[in-house]
Each structure stands twice: as structure tokens, then as C-alpha cells.
Amino acid sequence: MDDTETRSGVASVERALALLRAFTRDRPRLSLAELAEATGLYKSTLLRLAQTLEGDGLLSRTPGGIYHLGPACLHLATIYQQAVEPAEIILPALRALNRLTGESACFNIRNGDKRVCVYRIESVHRLRDHVMVGDVIPLAQGAAGHILSAFSGMPGRKYALIRKRGLAISLEEVTPGVAAIAAPVFEAGESLAGALVVSGPRTRLDKIAIDRIGPLLLDSARDVTRQLGGSLALFEAGAG
């Protein structure tokens, strides 16, 4: 195969991927005209791509000519979920947060009215908070607990504001002199997987540091969510 054929083949794949990516949680069914608008592709091109994707079960069409993702997408998603080991995704994210902030980074999950630290990377500083993997903390205390409560549907203005911002901050709620900031992580099925947390002494985690870390933490939470098969739309839903 020469370079021209290779480029043509890659372009076809890119167009097919663009077609599949046009479907979203808010727009799971699209007409041919809507697909053309979303992808910028000619209808004739879309029809050829759709026919191929339908043949492989990646795309389906209703009798009325409306397109939606096909059953093969669900099959591939199931295989992906079976292949993914959460630690292989979460630990690199924690290491990156640790490197970017210099502070401790951990991942908490909910267990009834408690939260459990399941992964943690320690700060490089000698002065740091001391939480260990396996530690159990009341859900009502700390930034991670507020995130897990808020995104589990806890009512109240406090939790509504956390859902809107996508972040929770705590100052000395669990340990005197320690501050923390947390963000939610979602997995497949729009389920809350847990909370990413950056924590450290208030002498370092002042308002300036927290304002700097917040966007880094949200970016990391979105990336982990994407890799776990969760919906990024849940972040925008909270902000709405």
C-alpha cells in the first residue's frame, strides 16, 4: 500500500470516528441532516460510512431513518470495563497531582456513612497530614466526604453549591492545621466512583494555593472519569 492509500484509509477512519462521536448523552439519536451538521461531512459520505458501520453493528437506524449507536458499541464497552484496572488509572493521576502540587494526593470511596482512603501518594514535604490507605473517616467530615455526599444526591444548599462548583474545600475539619480540596470521579453507568483529594498543612494550602490547585484537580478528575468510562457531561450537569 502506497502513502496515498494509507492517508486515504486513515482519513476514512477519522471520518467514521467523527460520525460516532457526534452522538452524545443529550443527543443519542440523530437524523442524517443532524449528522451532517455535527460532523461537517457530506450526506453522501455519511451514507457510505453509515452503511459500513451498520454492517459491523456499530451503528443502527430506525425505520424512520434516525441513527443511533449500535449494539456492538455496548459489547466493546463491556470488554473495556473488564480490561480496566482502576489502580492503573487512579495511581498515575495521584502521582501527577503530587508532582504538580507538592502535596499529598489520595482517592476516597464511600462506604455507608463513612469514607475510606483506598489509594494515596504522600507529599514530598516532611510537614504533611498523615492519612493512610485503609483509614476510615466519617462522611460528614472533610472535602472528600462533602464531595461523596453532594454527588450522591445529599439535599441542602451547601451540597448544591458543591455540585455547581464541582469542588469541595475543607479547613481543619478532620485534623487541626490541615486543609483539603476534592473533586468527584464518575465511572460507567453515570455512577459516582469516588473523590480525588489534595491535602496538606494550611500554611501551604492557603487561598492562593487552593485557587491554583482547583483547576488542576478538576482536570485530573475529568481525565480519570473519561478513562473509567464515565460521562464528562456529569461535570457540566453539576455546573448547571
> What's the CATH number where 97 sits?
3.30.450.40
| φ and ψ of 159, to 5 deg | -75, -30
Euclidean distance between CA atoms 179 and 200, whole angstroms: 6
- Per the listing, cell 483547576 goes with 215
Domain boundary at 16, 47, 81, which?
81
Burial (CB < 10 A; 0-12, 13-18, 19+), residue 233, is middle
Q: What is the pLDDT of residue 1?
A: 44
Domain region containing 52: 3-81
| Same domain, residue pair 74 and 128 | no
Q: What is the pLDDT of residues 44-58, one digit of tens each?
A: 999 999 999 988 889
- Residue 232, SS3? coil
Q: What is the pLDDT of residues 112-171, one digit of tens each?
A: 999 999 999 998 887 777 788 888 899 999 999 999 999 999 999 999 999 999 999 999
| Same domain, residue pair 226 and 133 | yes
CATH of the domain at 53: 1.10.10.10
| Same domain, residue pair 150 and 45 | no
How many domains does the structure of the chain reveal? Answer: 2
User: What is this structure's pTM?
Assistant: 0.71
Within 13 Å and on the Cβ side, how many CA atoms surround 76?
Answer: 9
